[in-house]
Amino acid sequence: MLSRIPIRIRLSAGHAVWMALIFVAIGIGVSKVVEDSVMQSLDATLMTSAKTLRDSQHVQQQKLSAYQDPHDWEAIIDEFFGSRRYVRAYGQLIDPSGKVRARASNIRVNLAVSTAALERAKMGQETYETYRIASGGSLRQLTLPVMRQGQFTDDLIQVAATMSGSLTTIHNVRTMLWITLGLGFVVSLVFGYLLTSWSLKPVTRITREVAALGFTDNFDRRLKLPSAEDELRLLVRTFNEMLGRIEDAFGRLRRFAGDVSHELRTPIAVLRGEAELALRRERSPEEYKSSMRTIVHEAEQMSGIVENLLLLARAQGEAIQINLEEAGLERFVEELKHSVEKNFSEKQVTLAVDTTECQGKTAKMASGYVTLALKNILLNACKHSSPGQTVELKVLDRVTEWRFEIKDYGEGIAKEALPYIFDLFYRADTARNRSSGGVGIGLSLAKALVSLHNGRIEVTSEAKQGATFSVILPREIDATQKATHRPMVQRIRSCRPFDWFRRRVFTS
């Protein structure tokens, strides 16, 4: 229900409700304090009047003893209360027999003597009581015992006053507080709405700027950062970073499309040229076979590019089911060396393998994918090495990981090129020709396959001084984190689009 209410109204209403609760709490506290203060003031006035009357009785003891008529006592009380020095109150004197000896002439009510007041008077304690009178008002009464030499004389002085003035004061204060509460609620509601509207202005501006970006792929614009270091500034900074990532992704996509077109254009041109050349005139069977071999070779190159791209896409999207198994490292490295021996022999480059630290040990991994990743790095090292040079492969045993270090002494990698060597289709200038082999997919694929094992690849190199690639695999790999949406039942290589053509041409 609240989700349907605009955020400005929600924030304004929430602010007003909280302010109202604060006002109510403050109002209750102020009302209680005022009520206690008024009652304490009234009680203090009654106590002052009663004590003054008691002291007057003690001072004028001889004068009071001369009075035998109760009317004489009334004259004394009337004289005292008629002065109005303390409060417009009623007063009376109770004798030891419990009868009213004298009372003020202005008294219009009977001042009761409760049992509790008598009991407290015997202990020398005063008693405050509140009564409802017949006229509908309230009366505040003080019963004060008359003490002589610390002993109760059985005489009581009672002083009472109406509470109409005090109650009126309390009522006026409460009324003022309720009016203030209502006005405060309205003011806080309006102020909260204005404050919310002002606070949301940057959000409105950000919305307009984002809407102005449109639906084009031109993401080079950035939003203006707010001046204050707050959540909105963090939001805008995060959005700008997202725009940067989107811009980079679109740039990579454009480069990818251009690179794929560039890599596939040459074999397609060769295919078309060979086919057109073979069809211009009648040729001998050997010439046709030569043309077919050229076509198959170029088709295999295109098929390899497509297969590697498919495998890279699935690896980067973690859509590959990796089956972890315990593999003996010595045998694993020996098979890896055997798989690249032909390439190293053709280039006249020596591959030196050091498995001293992994003898008799096993590692948990998907050996097929790790082999492919290391093979791509080895072939890359061979390609950039000169004839007669050596490429070193070492397996290092660390506490929590295995390190496969591949070091060559070839042309190396320029420092400015290091951040981009794992980008798809990226090749250094010295290798941007098809005769040297490779199309710039190998290192990207190697990084993706190693990432499937929660591993990483580190590179150190300087131009003209060789390069060192370190493939790092953790000893414990959580395969559930790399669970995929579709298991890989067969190798992608089995789906070559030109296999049928090769089988038909070379059936013999």
Which tokens sit at 307?
């297969």
One-letter-per-residue 3-state SS of 218-274:
CCCCCCCCCCCCCHHHHHHHHHHHHHHHHHHHHHHHHHHHHHHHHHHHHHHHHHHHH
List Cβ neighbours of 53 (8 Å cut-off, separation of 6 or more): 77, 80, 91, 157, 159
Strands (E), 149-194: 151-162
Q: In this structure, how many other beta carbons lie within 10 angstroms of the beta carbon of residue 170?
A: 18
CA dist 155 and 148 (Å) reads 10
**Angle between helical axes of 201-213 and 164-199 (0-180°, round to 10):** 20
How much is the average pLDDT of 306-324? 74
68 pLDDT higher than 60: no
Coil/strand/helix, residue 201:
helix
- Find the helix or strand (DSSP H, E) in which 29 lies: helix 7-59
**Which pLDDT belongs to residue 507?**
40
352 pLDDT higher than 90: yes
How much is the average pLDDT of 125-131? 87
**Which pLDDT belongs to residue 3?**
67
CA dist 189 and 282 (Å) reads 94
**Which pLDDT belongs to residue 489?**
34
**Which pLDDT belongs to residue 98?**
64
**Which pLDDT belongs to residue 214?**
64
Q: How would residue 318 be classed by pLDDT, with cut points 50, 70 and 90?
A: low
**Which pLDDT belongs to residue 345?**
92
Coil/strand/helix, residue 473:
strand
Percent of the chain scored above 90 by pLDDT?
A: 12
CA dist 396 and 362 (Å) reads 12
196 pLDDT higher than 90: no
CA dist 248 and 157 (Å) reads 97
Contact between 232 and 202 (Cβ < 8 Å): yes
pLDDT single digits (tens) 377-409: 999 899 888 899 999 999 998 888 999 999 999
- Find the helix or strand (DSSP H, E) in which 290 lies: helix 285-316
Helix segments in 317-415, DSSP class H: 329-347, 367-383
How far is the CA of 73 from the CAs of 78, 92, 110, 308, in angstroms?
A: 9, 9, 17, 122
- In this structure, of 80-84, 209-213, 337-341, 373-377, the range with the lowest mean pLDDT score is 80-84
Q: How would residue 180 be classed by pLDDT, with cut points 50, 70 and 90?
A: confident
How much is the average pLDDT of 436-442? 65
Interior/surface letters 245-283, b for 16+ CB within 10 angstroms, e for the rest: eebeeeeeeeeeeebbeebeeebeebbeebeeebeeeee
pLDDT single digits (tens) 10-36: 888 887 888 888 888 888 998 899 989
How much is the average pLDDT of 233-243? 86
Domains of the chain plus CATH, in order, are 2-170 (3.30.450.20), 322-483 (3.30.565.10)
424 pLDDT higher than 80: no
pLDDT single digits (tens) 285-309: 888 888 888 888 778 777 777 777 7
Q: How would residue 500 be classed by pLDDT, with cut points 50, 70 and 90?
A: very low
How much is the average pLDDT of 451-471? 88
CA dist 122 and 151 (Å) reads 9
Q: How would residue 374 be classed by pLDDT, with cut points 50, 70 and 90?
A: very high
